[in-house]
Amino acid sequence: MKITVNLFANLRDYAPAGQRPAEVSLPGGATAADLLSALRIPPAVQAVLLVNGRRAEAAALLADGDEVTLFPPMEGG
Amino acid sequence: MHGWCGTILRVDLTRGTIATEKLDPRVARSYIGARGFGIYYLRKEVDPRCDPLGPFNTLIMAAGPLTGTAAPTGARYVVTTKSPLTGAITCSNSGGNFPAELKKSGIDAILFEGRAERPVYLWVDRGRAELRPAGHLWGLTTHQTDEALRRETDEKAKTAVIGPAGERRVLFAAIMNDRDRAAGRAGVGAVMGAKNLKAVVVRGEGEVALADPAGFKAANARYRDAFKAKTKDNPPPLRTHGTAITVVGTQSHGVFPTRNFQQGTFEGWESIYGETLTRKYLLRAKPCFSCPIACGRVTRIPDGPFAGEGEGPEYETVYALGSDCGVDDLAALTKANYECNELGLDTISMGSTIACAMELYEKGLLKESETGMPLRWGDGQALVELVRLTARREGFGDVLAEGSLRLATRYGRPELAMVAKGLDFAGYDPRGEQGMGLAYATSPIGGSHMRGDPAYFELLGVPTSVDPHTWTDKPPLVAKWQDLFCVIDAAGLCVFFSVRYLVEQNLMVKPVGITELLNAATGAGYTPEEVERAGERIFNAERLFLLAAGFTRGDDRLPPRIVSEPMPSGPAKGMVCRLEEMLGPYYELRGWSAGGGPCEAKLKELGLL
């Protein structure tokens, strides 16, 4: 299945070949955690994770066509 | 005293006299400083029913015990007064270098009373203060005023000034310090203008005395080291891209206010957010006094109709002058930001008022014969022109200068003003961020994000993430964070560092690091619980002023668009803000009556009876 990934700020470094947004192919049944490892984002790197605009946990199951957004926690506003 | 200088300056502008008073140590301990001193003196000395632009209002500039120390982000001061925009209290917060200079001049706070007959400025030279004529400065921009004042006083002096907008009492005029930092919200600049006070100029060479210098140094090093360790390989997004990186958080959650809050996603967001700003216009990052983050932006638009150089835009400006007006031209909104800085306007209320006018125009309620120009969504040229007109109250700008609520009311649609208690919202649509709705509705100054900013935990993952769509869990969190923000503002610190490094990293945010620094600076021997209690005291005291000014529970509300029109699209599609369901539990846990006032037991507990 194909997942669209938006990476921001310093997480942008993990975009495959600098794609924007990135397209990642994953086997059916993959989770957000699988996506993070496919992108080689180390577990120690903190990230806010959204699937289709809703907050999700790393264990969340992904579906074909999902849009995932990842950005570092930030103090902002 | 330590941490505190122990000196309050009382300036009677009517008589032209200046007196120094000793800071009462009990007041210092109970209210900590800055925002706390602001509400203490406002309640003590100002009739809540007074005319905000009359001589009986007092303008209070106050620093905190950590302002001007080496504490990380010890850069802030707070301006407190009765707001001419809202009729409520306002306490507007700013950084830069002016607040630290005030402390180095040996002063904790300045109270400006009365009204000068002719324009004046206050010159504080190493603790000695005098009022000087300012007729020759009247009409100058904030930058011109800063330059002229440093020429005639001391090149190293720091200034807080008003521009043409404050002079003309634009109801959302700002006080600009260090040229481009703003105490922006709810018309503090108009109060200064109404007092004929053009500027405050300060030069100080002293150091803030510390109760335990070694302990302070050790704590300070530890917190700075923690920051350095965490950001060594990953520079903070705020330094790399400025606060405008926050668009990522709001747009992706569908709460990025667009076209006067008609939508929560903006199709042009990529043209105006922080990474684009960095790539196209950033010259350098600029820190405030003692700040390791450096979120300030020095930018330049090299060419084209909006060419210029200055500071900004920050996130709130990108929302207000950008998405909220449908403007995706970063050069145009940045230029409008420069104009706001130089003319002395709050970018949030300026943008929100223009957005309201654009909606009225698009709905046919406002005609070109009245505005003098078409007001179409996304028109960057009109945006810049309207800022200039508003600051000088020329043409249609005279109508805009009264703010969005009076504008919308004038054209028969008050519900189209996106405000709480008359103060324009910050850049978060509460339909997809329930806690922010409660924070806007219960903030003592009205629609501000800086009174317990739930965006941290609802959108930005700090210190951890909470679902922005739920509401039953929000009342205790919002109350806790409102009290914490009182503490941060009172101490003289900036939220950006404090929320991440000086409080326990869970949702209860116990202010352990702030307490440690406060104790080392002042020797007060606070427990974290006492510091939390001081925050709660400040919040409740502000509420008391609000109630005495005539506000009721019925004013803790949000526009119909937010509470009854479902978000039309995006990740928050179908949502409304469940404010009424949050208010009851919120009052109860605050120890407030169903009418929204603090109960006697609560007042007694906080020493406010």
- Average pLDDT, consecutive stretches of 10 residues, N- to C-terminus, chain B (609 residues): 98 98 98 98 98 98 98 98 98 97 98 98 96 98 98 98 98 98 98 98 97 97 93 89 97 98 98 97 98 97 98 98 98 98 98 98 97 98 98 98 98 98 98 98 96 96 95 98 98 97 96 98 98 98 98 97 98 98 97 95 97
Q: Which residues of A touch B449 (CB under 8 A)?
A: 77
How many angstroms separate the CA atoms of B483 and B461, rounded?
20
State whether B427 and A77 contact (CB < 8 Å). yes
> Does the pLDDT value for residue A19 go beyond 80?
no
Collect all residues of chain B within an 8 Å Cβ-Cβ radius of residue A76. 237-238, 243, 245-246, 249, 315, 455, 460, 496
Q: What angle do CA B451, B185, B137 make, to 5 degrees?
A: 150
Interface residues on A facing B, Cβ-Cβ cutoff 8 A: 6, 8-10, 45-48, 50, 52-55, 69, 71-77
* DSSP H or E run through B248: helix B247-253
CA distance B171 to B53: 10
Measured between beta carbons, the chain A residues lying within 8 angstroms of B443 are none
- Beta bridge partner(s), residue B22: B7
Distance CA B428, CA B319 (A): 9
B271-303 pLDDT tens trace: 999 999 999 999 999 999 999 999 999 999 999
Complex-level ipTM beyond the 0.90 threshold: yes
Predicted TM-score (pTM) of this structure: 0.98
| CATH code for the domain defined by B429-605 | 1.10.599.10
Residues of A in contact with B462 (CB under 8 A): 73-75
In contact, B289 and B177? CB cutoff 8 Å: no
* Cβ distance of A55 and B465 shorter than 8 Å: yes
Q: Does domain B238-423 have CATH number 3.20.20.70?
A: no
Helix axes B474-491, B35-45, angle to 10 degrees: 90
Nearest chain B CA: its distance from A55 CA (Å): 7
User: Count of A–B CB contacts within 8 Å?
Assistant: 91
Write the residue in A47, A53, A76 that is nearest to B238 by C-beta: A76
Question: Which of B234, B252, B453 minimises the CB distance to A10?
Answer: B234
Instruction: Determine, for residues B460 and A9 on separate chains, whether the beta-carbon distance falls below 8 Å.
Output: no
Residue with tokens 């929560």: B264
A interface test, pick of B465, B467, B573 with most A CB neighbours within 10 Å: B465
Minimum Cα–Cα distance from A46: chain B residue: B461
Residue of B nearest to A52 (CA): B571
Residue B4 neighbours by CB under 8 Å, 6+ apart: B23, B28, B33, B65, B108, B522
pLDDT at B104: 98
Domain borders along chain B are 7-203, 238-423, 429-605
Phi-psi region of A40 (alpha: psi -120 to 50; beta: other; left: phi over 0): left
Whether B455 and A48 lie within 8 Å, measured CB to CB: no
Note the pLDDT of residue B433. Answer: 98
Contacts of A69 in chain B (CB under 8 A): 248, 252
Query: Phi, psi (5° rounding) for residue B398?
Result: -65, -30
How confident is the model at residue B233, as a pLDDT? 80
Q: Which CATH number fits domain B7-203: 3.60.9.10, 3.40.50.620, 3.40.50.12780, 3.40.50.2000?
A: 3.60.9.10
Summarised one tens digit per residue, pLDDT across range B7-34 is 999 999 999 999 999 999 999 999 999 9
Residue B467 with chain A: CB contacts under 8 Å: 55
- Give dist(CA B370, CA B400) in Å, integer: 12
Apex A35 CA angle, A30 and A41, nearest 5: 150
Decide if B168 contacts B193 (C-beta within 8 A). yes
Give the three-state DSSP class for B349: helix
Alpha helices in B294-433 (DSSP H): 315-317, 330-343, 347-362, 368-371, 380-391, 397-400, 404-410
Give the CA distances from residue B131 to residues B12, B19, B149, B201, B513, in Å, rounded to whole numbers and listed in that order.
10, 12, 13, 10, 39
Strands (E), B397-451: 419-420, 423-424
Chain A residues near residue B235 by CB distance under 8 angstroms: 10
Question: Could you read off the pLDDT of B47-87 as tens digits, one per residue?
Answer: 999 999 999 999 999 999 999 999 999 999 999 999 999 99
**Domains in chain A: boundaries:** 2-71
The set of residues, in sequence order, having a beta carbon less than 8 Å from that of B221 and lying 6+ positions away, is: none
- CATH for A2-71, options being 3.90.220.20, 3.10.20.30, 3.40.640.10, 3.30.450.20: 3.10.20.30
Q: Which two tokens stand for residue B30?
A: 């109970």
Backbone angles phi, psi at B10, to 5 degrees: -110, 115
